Structure 1
Amino acid sequence: MKQAERVVIITGAAGGIGRALVNAFAADGGTVVAVDLPGSGILEFARGLGLPHLGLEFDVSREEDIVALYNRVETQFARIDVVVNNAAVGPSMDATVDTNVDAFRRVLAVNLIGPYVMAREAARRLEPGAVIVNVASLAGVVGNPKRNAYAASKAGLISITKSLACELAPRGIRVAAVAPGYVHTPMVEQLERAGAADLAAVRRRVPMGRMAHADEIARTVRFLASRDADYINGSVLTVDGGWTSFNQPGNANLSADGTPRAELFGPAGHVGARVVLVTGGANGIGAAVARRFAANGDTVVIVDKDGAAAAKLAGSLGGKHMAKSVDVAVESDVVALFEELRVRFARLDVLVNATVVVDSFVPGLQQTTDEIKRVLDVNLTGAFICAREAIKTMRAGGVILNVGTTHTFLPFAPRHAYEASQAGIEILTRCMAAELGPVGIRTAAVMSGHTSTPAVAQSANVGSIAPKGFRPSIPVAGIGKPEEMADATFFLASPDASYVNGSTLCVNGGTCLGDAGFAGDRDQEQPTKAAQWLPIMP
């Protein structure tokens, strides 16, 4: 993932997450401009990094400071490639009736208006290929008592991420965000010492049983800013250990006790080749995923109903890989598959559920019950059976990834069964995150938009869909490639995503952002009436 010579501006760089961000991008080969308030220690920190890195003091709530910052960076480096909006003030924890309006406005000025002005001034200077990543918060996703200004500012930052993604994509600039949950930082330690935070209670509420290490947030931001995330635009990735996936009274992890080592030093990375099973792995996105893991040196088991295509792909990848002809909707076949894997490998490290079928292009009133059952049986029940059997073979550190489509967030008539199956896949991911987090198994969903696959080409050839008609609605120009989904899937299975649990990562160019009219290239032809509602599937 190394991308040398990029110039990266990071605000709030003196804090816990900020320092981790600086170290992550510097280790990636970039030149870091670390900025924070006067007296924050940012100048000393930056000097310790050595040249060509730069430390600057400024106040993100002052527009004149932001303009001066960009002028200085432009003068010294002549370009800017990445802007990470990380600066923020924390919640005051005051009751609503005790909150001063000036204090409320101060939080908005730092956490929301400041990042907006940073992005605005960046957009005036950035070249195509540049990226803006906003560090939001779980507080902007779920409600928190006595955190009105902070939560509102972070929710606003998430919204601005999406609207800027639509606006700037035609200029070749991507915008994305992370929403961290609880992170073990010096500030959190201080709150605990002062009796203002019960960290033991926090850990019990997280399915993974711990808070994040700052490096885990930094590595996620680094991925979103990388070339491997080129089709991720407007997405907000929650990095919360499964907090938002738990919807029960009481504790999510009863075994959480003390301060886990991973909070203090970061989780241990994976050592050695993994055993990876990819369903629907013979063609399209599944095949791209299989190739990506194989390129990493992992052993890949390619499972597909088309056994001949699976065997051909496995053979092209090398002798250690395996192909099996399996219908994932047939329980006995799936059980037999996993029994064979247990005998051969004794374990499974990663399951990627990428098998998918779609319903026919007919109005819902004409769809038969049998067709609806078939779609749900393959896409949803089949994924469940594979996950159930995989759990029996996985150890702590295992990962279950479900590949779906963002059309579940922006449904297309008349794909009722397909959309229902994808909604089920997303919530299945969350349910398993809450259940499996305590035993060290993570889950996540990676959702595609319009993607160029053999199935799409075949549908276009017979006139069922019009791929050209979709392009104007995609903020990032062009239909997605299977390899872009594969890169995102590979990241979610990696140690860099070690605190991502139950989350959904959208890899769709920003398709479901809801911008009216043309989101992408305004010179492209307008979609036909049919193409406006006929989705391109994975």
Structure 2
Amino acid sequence: MTQNGPKVVLVTGAAKGIGLATARLFAGHVFAGQGAVVVLADRDEAAVRAAAAELGDPHRALVMDMAEEASIVAGIAHVIAQHGRIDVLVNNAGIVDPAGTLALDLDSATTARILRVNLSGSYLAAREAGRAMLENGGGVIVNLSSGAALQAIPGRTPYAMSKAGILGFTRALACEWAGQGVRVNAVLPGYVATEIVEALVAEGQVDPGSVAVRVPLGRMARPEDIAQAVLWAAGNDYVTGASVAVDGGYGAYGGTAPAALAAAPVPEVQQAPVVVISGGARGIGAATADRFAAEGARVVVLDRDAEALEALPADRQGLRLDVTDEAAVAQVMERIAAQHGRIDVFVNNAAIADDFAPTTEQSLDAFERGLAINLIAPLQLAAAAARVMLRGGGGAIVNLSSIAARGGLPRRNSYCAAKAGVEALTRSLACEWAQHGVRVNAVAPGYIATPGVMALEAEGKRSLRAVRRRIPLGRLGNPAEIADAVAFLASPRAAYMTGAIVPVDGGWSAFGDAGDAAEVD
């Protein structure tokens, strides 16, 4: 989104539900000092014109049928003719089989219709908008997938197929267009209280009580919950090819007993929240502290580096801590609670790198030293912070995972194992603590230009040129971009997110081809 002037945002399926909530949010958002012109597209002419009228000038309605290629091509051409460009496309329009027909009873026409609207229609809109974005030097596409793409729901086979297909072409487009300034992401809602779901409830296809007890947060999402994730995915410049789950923990839960007995309490929004960050004196931790401090939070940095703590800015408190000392961890959290009255956010960031020894030469002590700091300490820190949060009515914990959790890095056994464990930890704690109002999510950074990563290059342990060529966006991330993701997950904007793992890696985890992902000199 490099153009000057108001951003042009096209939202499909915008007459109601998630689409309308998204249009409203973008209409009130400011991008680098500029507002937005939102074009609301829908096949229901009366409804979409009423929705646009509600938003008022300069926002406009567009009648567009996602089942018809000619309608999509003409509609997007009309937007470009009227506004000169499209900066953001939100591919939201979709349909379901209201009868919930089981696979053996499905007719080919029903399957074709769902795939045509949900998958082919989204592809066509992305193709047409993407062509304009490429010509204008950049843009963002956010595709609406669904938790049904990953979690089986009886009677929803074509719908699940279409939404999984959206994830596939999201990754493909993200990798194809990253080098030309176009980012493509997907948001995966869980059960959302939209008009479609309400109709399914009325027809007996969805039991809201059964849904609520299966969701760790104990409720369906509001359309606004999904819209907030769409807005964030459109705004973070190092996120592409990502799948962002907004499902209240539904996808993270693997138990057989009810996940929730009632809706989780919602912590009171604090004007000056108390934010605790482990490993917060340098790198990503320091950038995260900068972000929260700039937003008016009371920031407490935990770090073992006494010299770095002494050099902290005046707007944050520093406490020395060995995160492997369980007793000291519990004591420092209680000290913070006694001083500030509560802990609202805890960022589990402290970590160390492997020793990079060949596996056949690595000692058990070296392997377990990494686990002690990168896996066991995060559990102890989260538990100590949660004990304080539970007394205060809830809070948010954000763990730092890594691309190493899902992709093997040679000679980094301990780090890869620990970060995979952190993701399991995140899901487990999210489901266990949701009922108490404590949300737990994780950010999975790719290669970030921190002092530690740059030191790897200086020591000859990693070629950053090779790394950049492997990243679709062609660059390392900025610590501030990770801090942005942490701040989002910790905020009320992510109120329906728990148990989610959000990749912020420039498309690294989306790339599946051989060779280089980007052309880098």
TM-score class normalised by the smaller sequence: over 0.9
Deviations 1:28-77 (A, max 9, x none): 13101101013451112212322211101111121111110121111110
- On the 8 A contact 2:472/2:511 being kept in 1, the answer is no
* 1:326 maps to which of 321, 329, 334: 321
Query: Equivalent residue for 1:271?
Result: 270
Superposed displacement of residue 414, structure 1: 1.5
* 2:209 maps to which of 191, 200, 203: 200
Query: Equivalent residue for 1:530?
Result: none
Q: Which runs of 5+ in 1 are unaligned?
A: 526-538
* 2:65 maps to which of 36, 44, 59: 59
Query: Equivalent residue for 1:151?
Result: 160
Alpha carbon RMSD of aligned pairs, Å?
1.7
1:19 has 2:20 as partner: yes
CA shift in 2, pair 1:54/1:120, >3 Å: same
Superposed displacement of residue 515, structure 1: 2.9
Instruction: Name the SS of the counterpart of 1:225 in structure 2.
Output: helix
Query: Equivalent residue for 1:41?
Result: 47
1:79 has 2:82 as partner: no
Given the two structures, how large is their TM-score scaled by the length of structure 1?
0.92
Deviations 1:281-301 (A, max 9, x none): 111111111111011000111
Deviations 1:189-220 (A, max 9, x none): 23323333210111111111111111010011
Q: Which amino acid letter does the alignment assign opposite residue 14 of structure 1?
A: A
Deviations 1:251-309 (A, max 9, x none): 101235xxx9x9xxxx7872311000100111111111111101100011101110220
Query: Equivalent residue for 1:185?
Result: 194
**1:36-435 aligned within 5 A:** 36-39=42-45, 41-92=47-98, 93-126=100-133, 127-226=136-235, 229-256=236-263, 270-313=269-312, 316-318=313-315, 321-394=316-389, 395-435=392-432
Paired with 1:268 and 1:355, the residues of 2 have a C-alpha distance of: 26
Query: Equivalent residue for 2:32?
Result: none
CA shift in 2, pair 1:123/1:255, >3 Å: closer
Query: Equivalent residue for 1:514?
Result: 511
Q: Which runs of 5+ in 2 are unaligned?
A: 30-34
Superposed displacement of residue 244, structure 1: 1.2
Paired with 1:514 and 1:90, the residues of 2 have a C-alpha distance of: 30
CA shift in 2, pair 1:41/1:255, >3 Å: closer
Paired with 1:462 and 1:200, the residues of 2 have a C-alpha distance of: 57
Paired with 2:329 and 2:187, the residues of 1 have a C-alpha distance of: 36
Paired with 1:186 and 1:454, the residues of 2 have a C-alpha distance of: 50
Paired with 1:462 and 1:447, the residues of 2 have a C-alpha distance of: 24
Instruction: Name the SS of the counterpart of 2:213 in structure 1.
Output: helix
- On the 8 A contact 1:34/1:42 being kept in 2, the answer is yes
Paired with 1:418 and 1:444, the residues of 2 have a C-alpha distance of: 19
- On the 8 A contact 1:291/1:317 being kept in 2, the answer is no
- On the 8 A contact 1:132/1:174 being kept in 2, the answer is yes
Paired with 1:377 and 1:308, the residues of 2 have a C-alpha distance of: 23
Superposed displacement of residue 322, structure 1: 1.1
Query: Equivalent residue for 1:9?
Result: 10
Q: Which amino acid letter does the alignment assign opposite residue 157 of structure 2?
A: N
Paired with 1:487 and 1:187, the residues of 2 have a C-alpha distance of: 33
Paired with 1:34 and 1:441, the residues of 2 have a C-alpha distance of: 36
Q: Which amino acid letter does the alignment assign opposite residue 474 of structure 2?
A: A
Paired with 1:56 and 1:458, the residues of 2 have a C-alpha distance of: 52
Higher mean Cα deviation, 465-474 or 500-509?
465-474
- On the 8 A contact 1:162/1:235 being kept in 2, the answer is yes
Superposed displacement of residue 336, structure 1: 1.6
Instruction: Name the SS of the counterpart of 1:177 in structure 2.
Output: strand
